[in-house]
Chain A
Amino acid sequence: MRTFFLIWYFYVQFLYWSISVTVILVFFKAPMAVVLLTKLFLTVFAWFYMNETREKRKLIFYKNMGLRTWLLFGSTFILDVLLTFSFLHLIWAIF
């Protein structure tokens, strides 16, 4: 449970960016594969950015909890995809 909370807290800082990107993709009626690839690219970019800049310091909190970096970003990607698909289904159901 603690690990889930930690992954969620890590993901929350990217949530607004993720929703914004999803809204843009929905606006341009992007196919599902493009949405998935975009999310994958953004996760890899976030990983690169956090590892190569001073933002790396933020990972110390999660490392202190024993969480590996790949687990953190991998779980973030899966969580993001699940939430994106839920959001898309909701949009399609409404419109």
Chain B
Amino acid sequence: MQLEIDNVELYCGGKTILQGVYLKATTGTITAILGRNGSGKSSLLKVAFGQIQPKYKGVRLDGRLIRQPLYQTKKVKFLPQGSFLPGYLSLKRLFYLFKAEWDKFITLFPAFVGQQQERFKSLSGGQQRLVEIYCILTSKSEIVFLDEPFTHLAPVFVESIAQMIKEEKSQKIIVLTDHNYDMVMHLADQLYLMKNGATSLVKNRDDLRRSGYISK
């Protein structure tokens, strides 16, 4: 499967947020978007998913224009920056709803053993983020958007999540943004840089240096 996003124009309060975006991602690859704070990375993922409605957008799957919000195709999962799961639901319910495997989860993260009946809101911020990433990554979908998946995670969990992303990519289109620049460079098969609401394809670190995203 091939996902293409272009012709996106998003304005907010007279300010241009997105204009001049082109992004292509295919199954079996990890596509990463880098950019400074406020460059429009999260907005682009929200527009692509269907969470916010821009003035214009073109989202195509295998060349076919998708007129409805992408989430309505039931092919996509989206991890936003902030916590989004209902706090009053138990982990058991959440794993049932996402059709995620609890046994596999506690094998990867043994600290959760015996917590299946706990409510989501009773977990720490880092634990909540782990549950969210696991559910989004492993539930049935063809496209996964991850907005800053490594934020709020301990380094040891960052490694585990990076490994999971690598494993899941064989069956999915994965598009992610994060400020953990080294991890993103390590994971990504292709990289876009977002600047002033527009994307440009990045081939190496020199391109990032030239654009001013990194200094050395």
Contacts and interface: CB of A to CB of B under 8 A. Distances in A.
Interface residues of B, number: 21
Contacts of B89: 9
Contacts of B74: 66
A66 B136 CA distance: 13
A5 B71 CA distance: 19
Given A2-B97, A6-B97, A64 B86 contact: no
A10 to B, nearest CB: 8
Given A6-B97, A65-B97, A68-B72, A60 B78 contact: yes
Nearest to A68: B72
For B73, B84, B93, which residue has the most chain A Cβ atoms within 10 angstroms? B84
A58 B71 contact: no
Contact of A61 (B49, B50, B73, B84): B84
Interface of B: 49-51, 69, 71-74, 77-78, 80, 82, 84-86, 88-89, 93, 97-98, 136
Contacts of B85: 61
For B69, B82, B97, which residue has the most chain A Cβ atoms within 10 angstroms? B97
A63 B82 contact: no
Nearest to B46: A60
Contacts, number: 43
Contact of A63 (B49, B88, B93, B98): B49
Contacts of B86: 9, 13, 58, 61
Number of chain A interface residues as a range: 10 to 19
B71 to A, nearest CB: 4
Top 7 nearest A-B pairs by Cβ distance? A66-B74, A63-B71, A60-B84, A64-B77, A61-B84, A60-B80, A57-B84
A13 B85 CA distance: 13
30 contacts: A5-B93, A6-B97, A9-B88, A9-B93, A12-B88, A13-B86, A13-B88, A56-B51, A57-B80, A57-B84, A58-B84, A58-B86, A60-B49, A60-B78, A60-B80, A60-B84, A61-B85, A61-B86, A63-B49, A63-B50, A63-B51, A63-B71, A64-B71, A64-B77, A64-B78, A64-B136, A66-B72, A66-B73, A66-B74, A68-B72
A12 B95 CA distance: 19
A46 to B, nearest CB: 15
Contacts of B98: 64
B128 to A, nearest CB: 13
A10 B80 CA distance: 19
A57 B80 CA distance: 8
